[in-house]
Structure 1
Amino acid sequence: MNWITNYVRPKINSMFGRREMPENLWVKCPETGEMVFHKDLEENQSVIPSSGYHMKIPGKARLNFFFDDGQYELLENPKVPTDPLKFRDERRYYDRLRDARTKTGLEDAVINAVGRIEGLEILATVQDFAFIGGSLGMAAGEAIVRGFETAVERQLPLVLFAASGGARMQEGIFSLMQLPRTTVAVDRLKEAGLPYIVVLTNPTTGGVTASYAMLGDVHIAEPGALIGFAGPRVIEQTIREKLPEGFQRAEYLMEHGMVDMVVPRPELKETIARLLKILLKTPSVSPEDEVTAELPAPEEAEPAEESEQA
């Protein structure tokens, strides 16, 4: 064994050789092709600063940005049967679930959390598109219903971030039954007089759009989000006509009355907090009122002693 080859040369190469750089330091904008440093992208909540393109964002990262100081309480999701139909296509559905759980660290596509935005306590339900396209199956449906039930129990407004390709067809009729179940859960929240705000992110399609995602008191969309039931390509093939420019995008839907407002991701927290305070009739304190409240009360002047009569 040659000690120069096995020890000295690797040591010299490690000192003067080329260092390998991580591959994820730069992110390419899908819209303009611009390369953005990943730290700048994270600081801007995964929104490309120059083009305003909204990248997909993990569910827990969204919660960290949304809640005050990134503090929140995660709610446990109900347990449901895994792979009830023993479904198999190119792969077993059980294996797809296992891989998705390993990749995302989530049990399924929906997360429920309780926290505060600008001091106002709310319940947030988030769909993570990275988990099998955010598809709606038994576990996701049960989690959404549990979120609404918890909001009613604790008397909290609910904000839902929708991101989904639709129903999870590997679960067949069990998946489709989540549409009426979640719709009933929305009705119970409204019967309790609690606000329900929906944030439509890219994409929100299929059975999710046909149920709870379009039943909010206020519908907010992120810029450029694809929102609809069937995809544009399927519609074009069905009607055999060219669709208008920007069809099913957030801005087009707002112009045609399907969405109330389009709000960039960094402004969502402030906008939703303002809307909830209006819906809950919570008095807002202006900066001038806060300054006045912090000032000490003026001391009363002591009465002047009466002058002695001469």
Structure 2
Amino acid sequence: MLVLDEAQTREALAWPALIDAIASMFTGTCVTPVRHHHEVEVPGEAAATLLLMPSWVPGQYTGVKVLTVYPDNAKRSLPAIFGTYLLSSGKTGEMLAVVDGGELTARRTAATSALAARHLARPDAEELLVCGTGRLSLNLIEAHAQVRPLKRIRVWGRNAGNAEKTAADARALGFDAKAVADIETAARTADIISCATLSQAPLICGDWLKPGAHLDLIGGFKPDMREADDTAVARASVFVDTRAGAMSEAGDIVQPLKTGVLTPGGIRAELRELVAKEHPGRQSTEEITFFKSVGAALEDLAGAILAYESARSGQK
């Protein structure tokens, strides 16, 4: 059995291969039940979340991710997310690999956003605004740069020091990146806005979105969490990673559905339909696109299989 730590998982999940692996999984025979989502009480602090995400390709691989989200970990200088992925044989059930769940989650999440941007962002998109300074922020920059010709990166966060650190890390990788204090000004010029926060109130106002902008929302994974307002929903063509997940869990979709700002039919397509070309995706240079991701277990399975097969190949 392979055990892949954080560094080994990162090395095994090159961006182009990971983006393509996730695309293939969305159009394959993967079985993906809706994930198990449990609130965990933490006395004196914000409640945590326990996620159990099973998925399998019949006869090939079976996997499950166990993930925890502790919002107040920032007070302890710890990541909010910890997790482990267990990959087994789909024929025998034999355990094949234990993969670092935090690194897998961060990379597959960013890769899924990049896959969506491949279909929804303007081909000439050059400016990316990342909102949030957690583990995902640098991954989002790297992943989006795989699919669009980014020239300018802007990073906003509630903590200015953390925003500057993310920008500095991006500069070390060769990006023209800088931290910004004014989220509205940065959002008004951005071609792609990618939000990865634990916000419960909208950060992005729809009135800020310029024609042709692409809005990528990642962080709001519970019904009471929100990263964009109703105006953004109303102005944009709305897409999701999976209807089942987004319509039951994502505040950026659940809340507008409840108030009538969005109808189920107003969701243009889910990611599988974009990848399979059942929906054309962006249809004009002026169209504003809105992609809401809550995470699907098949994305983790795609990454875990790639990590396992890449690591095995490297051992030969």
Give the TM-score taking structure 2 as reference length.
0.34
Name whichever structure is richer in strand by fraction: 2
Larger radius of gyration: 1
